[in-house]
Amino acid sequence: MIIVVEGTKKFCDYEMFMRAMGVALSGINNDSNIQVWSAGPHVINNYTAAFCNSSENFLRQKGFKVKFSKVHPTWISDNLHHVNYFAFFSLPQEPVSRLVKQAQLVESCEVGIFRY
């Protein structure tokens, strides 16, 4: 399973982020490898790394392996057909990114937009 995480510079609610990642993980199928690609910005990358580090032991006990990678949005754009879940974080008045709009067109990719 591949999860992409992206957000805006103004997003800063870690609790909402953690709830959203729980939603993303609820869609795990029989795939024992979970790859989390973070496209930034810096705060989102830090939240994603913290989530992967804190949940790694729990998921390992359940038979899952978690791999975290910071990747460039262009690389994600070229590989959207592999993505299973796309989580986008922003404030209510902020528009979604170009990458979110592309992900919404991919049939195999579920998109979650989280705003507070």
- Across the range 88-111, mean pLDDT stands at 96
Report residue 26's pLDDT band, with 50, 70 and 90 as the boundaries: confident
Name, in order, each residue with C-beta under 8 angstroms of 103's C-beta and a sequence gap of 6 or more.
Answer: 4, 80, 83, 86, 109, 111
Q: Is the pTM of this model over 0.75?
A: yes
- Return the pLDDT at 116: 82
Structural domains in the chain plus CATH codes: 2-115 (3.40.50)
A 10 A CB-CB count for 26 gives 8
Q: What percent of the chain has pLDDT over 70?
A: 100
